[in-house]
Amino acid sequence: MKLDTTTFHLSPSQCRGSEDVNLVQLTDCHLFARSDGKLLGLETESSLRAVIEDIQQNTDFDFVLATGDLSQDASEASYQRMSQFLDLLKKPAFWTPGNHDCPQQMQNSIQGKNLFHHKRIITQYWQVILLDSSVRGKVHGFLTQDALDFLHNALNDKAELNTLLVLHHQPVQIGSAWLDNIGLKNNAEFMAVLALHSQVKGILWGHIHQEYQQNLSNMKLMSTPSTCVQFEPGSQDFEAGSQSPGYRRLCLKADGSIETEVIRIESQPFVVDYSIRGY
């Protein structure tokens, strides 16, 4: 699929007049063609609905990032329903694919009044760049030379803007053997590009179905719980986690800092079948 290099400009008036930009990250929704589809015994659509309702009730934000594995089966129907959920949030939403997704099917089927295919978002003080780390037929991630060139050029083009990078796969080891095995394979090449550009202040991803936050030089590294099933932090083999589904809020400050928190949906039980040993 041809790389989309077009830019979406978000004006201060679209950020409620604030110098800061507030956004919401949703990740790893794993919707199925059937709306009652289950992952490890959990209905993924009903947990996503609970997350969307929490955002609607409790979060002010300017745009949405959906960071892959939006579908479990890459079906047209699953992306159409994902589109309907994203449109409920009534703010611009942007997406990047995960290992369970089909980028072409997403491009065709994620449609809605507030849904955009742009991979660069420019605001007054920030640039957000979405990268496709998915590899057809593989679970691990990889950034093609085209993707690395796109990143390098976008960073060169707006060197004066603080930058948040967004992708599906984790670009660092997280201390969980089975997940470290399916992260971004060419993370060294990715980090080599970043070493040339000091304006990168944050990297945000999904894939590992758990909260993670570390600092690396002047960057904040962040991953976010799935809107459905969680994976147990630190597990050496596949292991579902007991924590609730969730999402992440981020505030990109005018001074280049990032304030962020993970929100878990604790208002109802989410039952997972722990006897299933894979996903």
Instruction: Give contact residues for Fe ion (rule: CB under 5 A).
Output: 28, 69
Separation between Cα atoms, residue 217 and residue 223, nearest integer Å: 17
Nearer to Fe ion, 96 or 163 (CB): 96
Answer yes or no: are the C-beta atoms of 66 and 95 closer than 8 Å. yes
Q: How far is the CB of 201 from Fe ion (least distance, A)?
A: 25
Report CA-CA distances (Å) from 141 to 169, 187, 252: 6, 9, 26
Q: Which is nearer to Fe ion, 63 or 205 (CB)?
A: 205
Structure tokens at 103: 């980028």
CB 46 → Fe ion: shortest distance, Å?
Answer: 17
Closest to 207 in 3D by CA, of 151, 279, 109, 127: 279
CB of 208 to Fe ion, least distance (A): 8
Whose Cβ is closer to Fe ion: residue 38's or residue 158's? Answer: 38
- Give me the least distance between CB of 99 and Fe ion, in Å please: 7
Residue whose CB is less far from Fe ion, 202 or 225:
225
Nearest distance from C-beta of residue 243 to Fe ion, angstroms = 15
Which candidate, 124, 125, 218, 232, places its Cα nearest to that of 174?
A: 232
Distance CA 163, CA 161 (A): 6
> Is the Cβ of residue 92 or residue 97 nearer to Fe ion in the bound state?
97
Which of 206, 224, 229 minimizes the C-alpha distance to 276? 229
195 to 156, 205, 218, 230: CA distances (angstroms): 13, 19, 11, 32
Of the pair 28, 54, the CB lying nearest Fe ion is at 28
The CB-of-17 to Fe ion minimum distance in angstroms stands at 36
